[in-house]
Amino acid sequence: MVDCCSAPGLIPFEQAMERMLTAIKPITESEFIPLTSALNRVLASKVSSPLNVPPHNNSAMDGYAFKLASLEKQNTLTLVGKSMAGAPFQGVCNLGECIRIMTGAKLPNCCDTVEMQENCQTNEDNVTFLEERKFNDNIRFSGEDIAINQQVFDQGKKLSAIDIGVLASLGVPQVEVFRKITVAVLATGDELKSPGEKLNEGDIFESNSHALTAMLGKLNVNVINFGIIADDEQAIRAAFQQADQEADVVISSGGVSVGDADYTKLVLEQLGEIGFWKIAMKPGKPFAFGKLANSYFFGLPGNPVSALVTAHQLAVPALLKLQSAQPKNKQLLKIKTATPLNKRPGRMDFQRAVLSTNEQGEMVVTSTGSQGSGILTSMSNANCYIVLASNQGKVAANEIVDVQLFDEVIQ
Ligand code: AMP
Ligand code: MG
């Protein structure tokens, strides 16, 4: 399936992405869930509106409703009733008459225009209209947001907070969504300790699985955390086999670079079809992708920035595809760089940077400084990537560069 392992040299980022997305078959199983737990879930069927939204013509103002023809010969009308939100006017409003109406209250069929109360003078049952009005002023029309039978969302829509509001406005109590996928997360390395443990000489705290688990939370997947696995063939095999049994996707970090990749690579080749790719991207050159017996596998580099950039740039689109979600298009903005940028041709760079407004009110992008793949603060201080094409060399200050804003998955 993955024919990349033996490819000499580096493969372009776009090619790696395309091969990976081609290999992933989206899940098809779906379930009905209440709207209250549908945030970030993916719709398994399209949604069309069962009603007009709003369902009736209503007033956009607190004021008075009438037939505009009533104001042709006079500017004082007789008040004959009221329409409140949830308690519509039940009578008839004839020419020369008006009713009190509140914002959101149903507009009776006998009225066609609303005047706001600030432009009216009231005297007992008489209302005097001080300003000229136009036909249909201050009316919100039935169906002006969504018309009955109109398709509102397509299959594959990942539901945002606003989308949940739209579905509620349709009166939809539950939605059909694709089942949640389960992702197993593992960190490999003898030097790794969990936060809270004691560090021995040469140890470091393990951060990749923590950041990754938090990112996966934004995708609303089930996460099984396998913790830290020693650099040991038996331990790695046992962990990968168990993870493969329990999850749709297994994501490990560490051990994919040349030096200590041996056990990971050996075990993965025994268990499935895995490609060890050298991707022409920076950070994150080494990356593994393929299939175990039951699951897809992503092997991220160990360096924290490399792990998170490859997870964000490569694994997230792959997980979205597996979730049957519509692909996100990554928008690039053309922005002036405030600082010169170091770059050697040969790899596509995802430099971490801050997009801001300078004193002249122009948008500029500023590098977060040292771009070493172990310097995680270069990423936590950033709000965007500067994306530099593979063949690009150094960039001078004030040149225009491509900027990709961080999305909700890593913020
Ligand atoms: P490796 O890819 O295993 O050779 O690791 C490359 C670098 O990343 C080494 O300095 C490791 O100590 C570090 N590293 C590997 N895994 C993690 C992790 N889960 N959290 C933090 N640093 C890590
Ligand atoms: Mg390691």
- pLDDT class of 2 with cuts at 50, 70, 90: very low
Closest to 148 measured CA to CA, from 225, 53, 69: 53
Tokens read off for 368? 């977060």
- CA atoms lying within 13 Å on the CB side of residue 107: 29
Express each pLDDT in 268-307 by its tens digit: 889 999 887 889 999 988 899 999 999 999 999 999 999 9
Give CA–CA dist 255/380, Å, rounded.
Answer: 24
Q: For the ranges 44-48, 50-54, 370-374, 388-392, which has the lowest average pLDDT?
A: 370-374
Which residue lies with its CA nearest to atom 6 of ligand 1?
A: 302
**Between β-strands 182-188 and 222-229, what pairing exists: parallel, antiparallel or unpaired?**
parallel
Q: Report the SS3 class of residue 295.
A: coil
| Residue 16 reports pLDDT greater than 50 | yes
| Residue 402 reports pLDDT greater than 50 | yes
pLDDT for residue 52: 97
Tokens read off for 25? 């078959």
| Residue 4 reports pLDDT greater than 50 | no
| Residue 3 reports pLDDT greater than 50 | no
Ligand 2 centre distance from Cα of residue 281 (Å): 20
What contacts 2, CB < 8 A, 6 or more positions away?
A: 19, 23, 273, 274, 275, 289, 290, 291
Number of residues that make up the chain: 411
- Say what the pTM is: 0.89
Give the CA-trace dihedral at 35, 41, 46, 51, to 10 degrees: 20
Considering the chain, what is the average pLDDT of its residues? 94
Express each pLDDT in 22-77 by its tens digit: 999 999 999 999 999 999 999 999 999 999 999 999 999 999 999 999 999 999 99
Q: Report the SS3 class of residue 228.
A: strand
Which residue lies with its CA nearest to atom 11 of ligand 1?
A: 302
For residue 187, the ligand 1 atom closest to its alpha carbon is: 19
For residue 231, the ligand 1 atom closest to its alpha carbon is: 3
Name the CA radius of gyration of the chain, rounded.
Answer: 30
pLDDT for residue 82: 97
**What is the separation, in whole angstroms, between the first and last Cα of the chain?**
34
pLDDT for residue 230: 93
Give CA–CA dist 227/241, Å, rounded.
Answer: 15
Give CA–CA dist 184/179, Å, rounded.
Answer: 16
Ligand 1 centre distance from Cα of residue 371 (Å): 16
321-329: average pLDDT? 94
Q: Report the SS3 class of residue 300.
A: strand
Closest to 136 measured CA to CA, from 51, 87, 69, 200: 69
| Residue 95 reports pLDDT greater than 90 | yes
For residue 256, the ligand 1 atom closest to its alpha carbon is: 2
| Residue 7 reports pLDDT greater than 60 | no
pLDDT for residue 329: 85
pLDDT for residue 255: 84
Return the amino acid letter for 56.
H
Express each pLDDT in 210-251 by its tens digit: 999 999 999 999 999 999 999 999 999 999 999 999 999 999
Tokens read off for 373? 């793949």
pLDDT for residue 330: 86
Ligand 1 centre distance from Cα of residue 292 (Å): 23
In this structure, the residues whose C-beta lies within 6 A of any atom of ligand 1 are 187, 189, 191-192, 204, 206-209, 253-257, 259-260, 301-304
| Residue 320 reports pLDDT greater than 90 | yes
What proportion of the chain, given as a percentage, has pLDDT over 90? 89
User: Residue 281: beta bridge partners?
Assistant: 348
Give CA–CA dist 162/153, Å, rounded.
Answer: 12
- Sign (positive or negative) of CA dihedral 155, 160, 161, 166: negative
Ligand 2 centre distance from Cα of residue 254 (Å): 5
Give CA–CA dist 225/217, Å, rounded.
Answer: 12
